[in-house]
């Protein structure tokens, strides 16, 4: 490819310098993402990763649920006060402004939760797509390729019930003030990990080899 | 202590049409919807500026108020992150087909009629600021301690602070920003008002029962509508289920947060019927009460009598200072003269009692007596 910022335009001798240079890692990742966007297979992987994580995230934070035995037509019920969209209901959680029900599926439309979910899911999708490219290209990848998927896990744990993190109910661990305080870091930690892993996996992809 | 002087008067004034189960008056409590007669005759209401009305006598705390404050933890949501219902709407029983027969509701019956507050709605709001028969009240529910309690609120409203103590909801009143832990029903210092008057709220009884039992007893009951003004999913309880009982509500499951209690005589979530006054506290295991009908006990140095009411599957606790003897036959209580009384209308002085999870009750009232 002809992108002058791509690592492929550099010599192998520059590799060590590239890996220690932040701007180089970013440029390499951007180039890899562009390459991924041009391929149908990696684009499909990106979309699948994004959609899968989006659904998983919305379900774990409680915005999306499936109630067995539910039925009936699609209904939409709006909140009276749409400013609830900006009301904090927990750590990186915001109020919903509509309840959308379709058969057994209920979705609480919280615009800010959805934006955050799309941002996280986009990062996960990008990680998955680049990991995929790293695997299909001739050059072997290191173990860090898998970190892209794992990096999205902390945010999945950030779902909270009215009082206390839901995941603790599932695993039976008792909450403490410290633990609950720690839960407010899960989303930022996930973002940092996702960006970090994206840079790691991005620099491993050689767009020229695709 | 001095007994509330008007309790008998209150019960008498309500008449047979009022479900006595909703008119218990523990210390400081009174019927919230009695047309004001009992409240006036009692004359013990205290107002704290724009705050809710309080009682002359304070309920017991497990430790000094500042220590209670220091034990408060964040449950996650910020102040009002769990929104109270401030403009409740009600529908008829026929217009609430989504309620299953076995679903829990918190019932309130008054001269003006009956109301059911479904647990599935209150688990998302915890506080419903309502007006019942012209009187401003708050119907409150804490899912983590399994406690549904009614309070008079005066001109203010209650909200959810987002903090918990012994896993219990800490409410705050919007008039004075004072913290009020729900079960303790007593002011404690908090970040928004660090020197409130240490008084206790005026309480009234809610009956924790099932929709089937409540609607059978009160076919004309109104039901809190799901049209709360908020976009919430009332089809799913984030903690588990009472119908059937599972998840966080299972008897053996641990509390969500650290509990004050290390009393393991019962499993943590076992339901007890608890009653407390400035003199002490007593708890009756609900299953045992259901099985035995009548249970004698002690609260402080006072003899008390707990009675099961089979239609609503609830219980009542009475002071029984003279140790009067009663028999329980077919859901009726027979006194020593052979007269039958409904369980909610014994000729004794009733205390305010409510269902609670054992860990919460024993944590708040470590000196409680327990009858199993």
pLDDT digits (tens, 9 = 90+) for B165-201: 999 999 999 999 999 999 999 999 999 999 999 999 9
| R_g of chain B, CA atoms, integer Å | 19
Are A169 and B74 in contact (CB < 8 Å)?
no
> Which of the pair, A19 or B361, is modelled with greater confidence?
B361
Residue B164: exposure state from Cβ atoms within 10 A (0-12, 13-18, ≥19): buried
Asked if residues B101 and B116 have their Cβ atoms less than 8 Å apart, the reply is no
pLDDT tens-digit series, residues A113-138: 999 999 999 999 998 888 888 777 76
SS3 assignment, position A13: helix
Q: What DSSP state is assigned to residue B48?
A: -
Q: What is the mean pLDDT of residues B6-27?
A: 35
Six token digits for residue B238: 């984030």
Read off the pLDDT of residues B48-70 as tens digits, 9 standing for 90 and up: 568 999 999 999 999 999 999 99
Rounded to a whole number of angstroms, the distance from the CA of B86 to the nearest CA of chain A is 12
pLDDT digits (tens, 9 = 90+) for A165-203: 777 777 777 887 777 778 888 888 888 888 888 888 877
Tens digits of residue pLDDT in B311-341? 999 999 999 999 999 999 989 999 999 999 9
ipTM: 0.80
Q: Cα–Cα distance between B65 and B58 in angstroms, integer?
A: 12
Measured between CA atoms, how close is B15 to chain A, in angstroms?
40
Structure tokens at B249: 């509500």
A162 and B75 within 8 Å at the Cβ level: the answer is yes
Asked if A162 lies within 8 A of B164 by C-beta distance, the reply is no
Residue B87, burial from CB neighbour count under 10 angstroms (0-12, 13-18, 19+): exposed
Chain A residues with beta carbon closer than 8 angstroms to that of B238: 62, 161-162, 166
Each residue's pLDDT tens digit, B283-300: 999 999 999 999 999 999
The residues, ordered by sequence, that sit 6+ positions from A66 with a Cβ below 8 Å of its Cβ are: A104, A105, A106
Would an 8 Å CB–CB cutoff place A53 in contact with chain B?
no
Please choose, from the candidates A164, A9, A66, the residue with its C-alpha nearest in 3D space to the C-alpha of residue B233: A66
Write out the two tokens for B187. 């002011």
**Is B196 within 8 Å of B208 (Cβ atoms)?**
no
Q: How confident is the model at residue A158 (pLDDT cuts 50, 70, 90)?
A: confident
Sign of CA dihedral B72, B161, B81, B253: positive
Put simply, whether A112 touches B (Cβ < 8 Å) is no
Q: Phi then psi for B189, rounded to 5 degrees?
A: -65, 150
Q: What does the pLDDT look like over B344-357, one tens digit per residue?
A: 999 999 999 999 99
pLDDT band at A209 (very low <50, low <70, confident <90, very high): low
- B125 near B85, Cβ under 8 Å? yes
pLDDT tens-place string over residues A60-109: 888 999 976 556 789 999 999 999 999 999 888 999 999 999 989 999 99
Q: What is the pLDDT of residue A161?
A: 59
Q: Which residues have CB under 8 Å from A191's CB, separation 6+?
A: A119, A120, A123, A155
Please say whether the beta carbons of B363 and B268 come within 8 A.
no
Q: Find which of A94, A163, A182 to mutate to test the B interface (most B CBs within 10 Å of its CB).
A: A163
Q: Which chain A positions have a beta carbon within 8 Å of B161's beta carbon? A: none
């Amino acid at each position: 490819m002809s992108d002058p910022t791509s690592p492929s335009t550099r010599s192998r001798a520059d590799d060590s310098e590239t890996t220690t240079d932040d701007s180089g890692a970013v440029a390499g990742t951007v180039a890899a993402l562009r390459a991924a966007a041009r391929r149908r297979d990696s684009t499909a992987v990106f979309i699948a990763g994004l959609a899968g994580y989006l659904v998983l995230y919305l379900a774990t934070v409680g915005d999306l649920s499936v109630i067995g035995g539910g039925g009936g037509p699609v209904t939409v019920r709006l909140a009276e006060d749409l400013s609830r969209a900006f009301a904090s209901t927990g750590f990186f959680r915001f109020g919903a402004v509509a309840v959308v029900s379709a058969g057994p599926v209920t979705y609480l439309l919280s615009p800010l939760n959805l934006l955050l979910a799309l941002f996280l899911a986009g990062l996960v999708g990008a990680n998955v797509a680049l990991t995929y490219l790293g695997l299909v290209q001739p050059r072997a990848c290191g173990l860090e390729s898998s970190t892209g998927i794992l990096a999205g896990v902390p945010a999945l744990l950030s779902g909270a019930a009215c009082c206390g993190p839901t995941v603790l109910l599932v695993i039976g661990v008792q909450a403490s003030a410290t633990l609950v305080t720690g839960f407010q870091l899960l989303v930022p930690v996930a973002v940092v990990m996702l960006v970090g892993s994206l840079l790691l996996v991005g620099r491993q992809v050689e767009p020229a080899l695709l | 202590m001095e007994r509330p002087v008007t309790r008998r008067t209150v019960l008498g004034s309500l008449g047979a049409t009022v479900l006595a189960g909703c008119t218990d008056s523990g210390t400081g409590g009174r019927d919230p919807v009695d047309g004001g007669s009992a409240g006036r005759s009692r004359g013990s209401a205290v107002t704290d500026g724009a705050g809710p009305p309080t009682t002359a006598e304070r309920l017991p705390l497990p430790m000094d108020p500042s220590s209670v404050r220091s034990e408060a933890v964040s449950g996650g949501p910020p102040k009002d992150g769990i929104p109270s219902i401030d403009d409740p709407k009600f529908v008829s029983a026929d217009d609430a087909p989504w309620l299953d027969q076995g679903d829990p509701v918190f019932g309130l019956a008054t001269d003006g009629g009956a109301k059911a507050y479904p647990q599935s709605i209150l688990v998302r709001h915890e506080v419903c600021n309502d007006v019942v028969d012209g009187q401003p009240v708050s119907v409150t529910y804490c899912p983590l301690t399994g406690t549904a309690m009614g309070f008079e609120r005066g001109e203010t409203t209650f909200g959810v602070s987002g903090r918990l103590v012994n896993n219990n909801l800490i409410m705050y009143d919007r008039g004075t920003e004072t913290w009020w832990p729900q079960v303790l029903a007593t002011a404690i210092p908090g970040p928004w008002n660090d020197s409130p008057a240490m008084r206790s709220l005026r309480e009234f009884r809610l009956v924790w029962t099932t929709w089937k039992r409540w609607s059978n007893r009160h076919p004309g009951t109104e039901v809190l509508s799901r049209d709360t003004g908020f976009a919430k999913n009332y089809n799913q309880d984030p903690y588990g289920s009472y119908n059937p009982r599972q998840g966080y509500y299972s008897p053996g499951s641990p509390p969500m947060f650290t509990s004050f209690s290390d009393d393991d005589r019962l499993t943590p979530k076992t339901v007890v019927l608890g009653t407390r006054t400035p003199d002490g506290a007593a708890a009756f295991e609900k299953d045992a009460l259901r099985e035995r009908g009548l249970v004698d006990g002690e609260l402080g140095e006072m003899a008390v009598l707990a009675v099961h009411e089979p239609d609503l599957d609830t219980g009542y606790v009475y002071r029984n200072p003279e140790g009067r003897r009663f028999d329980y036959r077919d859901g009726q209580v027979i006194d020593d003269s052979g007269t039958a009384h409904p369980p909610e209308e014994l000729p004794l002085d009733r205390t305010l009692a409510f269902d609670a999870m054992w860990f919460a009750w024993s944590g708040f009232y470590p000196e409680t007596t327990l009858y199993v």
